[in-house]
Structure 1
Amino acid sequence: MADADPDIRIRDRIVVAPRFTQADADALNARFDGVSTRDMLATALGEGLFGRVAAVSSFGAESAVLLHLIASVDRSVPVLFLETGKHFPETLAYRDLLVGRLGLTDFRDLHPDAALLAAKDATGLRWSYDPDGCCDLRKVEPLARALTGFDASFTGRKAFQSVTRTALPRFELDTADAAGRLKINPLITWTPADIDAYFAEHALPRHPLVEQGFPSIGCQPCTNRVKPGEDPRSGRWTGWEKVECGIHKPLLDDDPNLPSF
């Protein structure tokens, strides 16, 4: 039989295996159990354990800590910010300050789809009667689009922030992604004292709204001041049975709340 013609293009094969499995997440949790956050980041990023990875940042009250840790290892890690069009001006100024101060070389603003906004929130007031729908349009959908090109993402979630985050592991599967994207929570075990100490040690600037009573900062219409001693996230979506914007909420195929666009 004659050898195959080397100029004939072999049809590309579609890889259907998930990028990460639960077994992979379990193995990473075991391998880095007890390892400091910076050492974990240095090892994992240095060895390419996460594949194509991005950091998703709100540039909120504590965001500078994770961004500084990542930048201290690799400033080229893409940093994704959801520019919802509803942020406090102070958040946008703080974003620009940190990007420059930390030397982040691949910062990306993510914007809602203009056609979807025109069709589903033409007045810009959907937050006032359907905050879930507003978050879907301005956060969930744009982030889902952006993350299709990545195998893993960093989040800034911490166990102390709310009861919905107390049991989160350091490494987990992104349940909104059927292809097995990994979600990494480097600061999940950090305490408020740890955060404060890191800010002080590295002279990191604080979000200007923190001292005004905003320990958790989201979009301006849905963020209120928090009284001392209250859950740090109790000022988010006050009066609604809502504790997450949706980018971290498990989404199942048969979930009636799954956004459709």
Structure 2
Amino acid sequence: MTDWFQQQGPVFQALLAGGFTWALTAMGAGVVFGLTSVNRKLFDAMLGFAGGVMLAASYWSLLAPSIEAASEQGWPSWLPAAVGFLFGGAFLYGMDRSLPHLHRGLPTQSAEGPKTAWQRSVLLIAAITLHNIPEGLAVGVAFGSAAAGIESAPLSGATALAIGIGLQNIPEGIAVAVPLRGEGMSRTKAWMIGQASAIVEPIAAVIGAAIVVYAAPVLPFALSFAAGAMVYVVVEELIPETHQKGNEDLATLFLMLGFAVMMVLDVSLG
């Protein structure tokens, strides 16, 4: 970690980290210029890995610092973690119900949320955007908590979280763009959709960092809120998607691998 990065404010750090996670999504989606299909087993393994990273980050980078921050602020240590976690899931549930979107690999008529005349590509972007908002928030509140001086959430830990989210964004970019190309979409349009939804990550990261920097009392709630939102995405979207074609065991093994990779990153760097 360079001295220059350490000297920047937490909001700007979050912006840079969110830009990094978006760039890795775009890099993964760039594979579409060379491939027209992804083996379904590889697809499910990649999604399982992404889910494992998100689950590990939810505890090591978010819930544990939330509990510590609550104790420092005089709350019962469990209260903000539990409340924020549940509200994070409820927020994603509400977004899931109110925003038209379409999960990958499903026909257009299977779109969720209110009925709409949106095109298939727009519905896909909406679904992936819902997925990426919690990741951006998680990165932002991690950098905000590092600025607050929480012992279990140092700057190196926030950086580890950004690296972990970025790593799992590479296969996500592939998993979005290549199937679209396989459906006949042009390479450029498939890449644009593959990377477009991740643009929300630096925006959400800045919002998350600003909230905890300028409203310090909400810090433990913001950390656990991001954790609850990420767990909701994993359980509602990623795990069911990996179980559609009989690859449950493979996806589970890669979920555990992703969890281990994120845990090692957080503990070793944090």
- What band does the TM-score fall into relative to the shorter chain? under 0.3
Greater Cα radius of gyration, structure 1 or 2: 1
Structure with greater strand share of residues? 1
Answer 1 or 2: which has greater helix percent. 2
Please, what TM-score do these two structures have when normalized by structure 1? 0.25
Please give the TM-score of this superposition, normalised by the length of structure 2.
Answer: 0.25
